[in-house]
Amino acid sequence: MRYTTIESPIGELLLLGDGDTLRGLFMQGGRRPVRVAADWQQDAAPFAGVTAQLREYFAGDRTVFDVPLQLDGTPFERSVWSALQEIPYGETTSYGEVARRIGQPTAARAVGLANGRNPIAVIVPCHRVIGANGSLTGYGGGLERKRTLLALEQPSIQLAL
C-alpha cells in the first residue's frame, strides 16, 4: 500500500492507494485519524492526479472528481457510498432519502453508520448528507469540517450547527 499526506483547508489529508486506485482519503484531524502501517510506502507520485483535483476542488474550480476508486465494504455500505456519489455538487440530501434511493426506506440509521464508515472522504461526498430537518449531524471529520465543505459548495447558504 502507498500513501501520502497533503494539507488542505480542512487540515491534513491522508491518501492511501495501491498505485492505481485510491482506497482511502482520511481527515487526520478528525475523530479517527488513520495510523500509517509499518509496511506502507510513502510515495506522493501515484497521488499526483488526485492531489491536483483536490486542490482544484478546494479552490472552487472543480465540482466532479475523476479518480479511480476502490471502496472496500459490505454490499450495503457500497450501495450507500454509490448513492453518495450521485448527490450533485452544491446539493444536500437526508439519510432517509439515501435509504429510499437504495431501496431500503427504513434504513436511515444504517445509512448513517455506512456514511460514517466512508473510506474516501470529500470525493465520496458523505458531507452532503444532513438531518431530515436540515441540521448538520454527525461527521467523522467533525461538524466544523462538514460546515466548511458545504460552505465551499454552497457559498450563499448559511449553515447552522
CA pair distance 96, 137, nearest whole angstrom = 13
CA pair distance 90, 92, nearest whole angstrom = 7
The residues carrying an active-site annotation are: 126
CA pair distance 44, 19, nearest whole angstrom = 10
Q: CB–CB of 110/104 below 8 Å? A: yes
DSSP type of residue 69: B
**All residues at 6 or more sequence positions from 157 whose CB lies less than 8 Å from its CB, including other chains:** 150, 151
Cell triple for 95: 439519510
What amino acid is encoded at 42 in this protein?
Q
Q: Tell me which H or E stretch contains 93.
A: strand 93-94
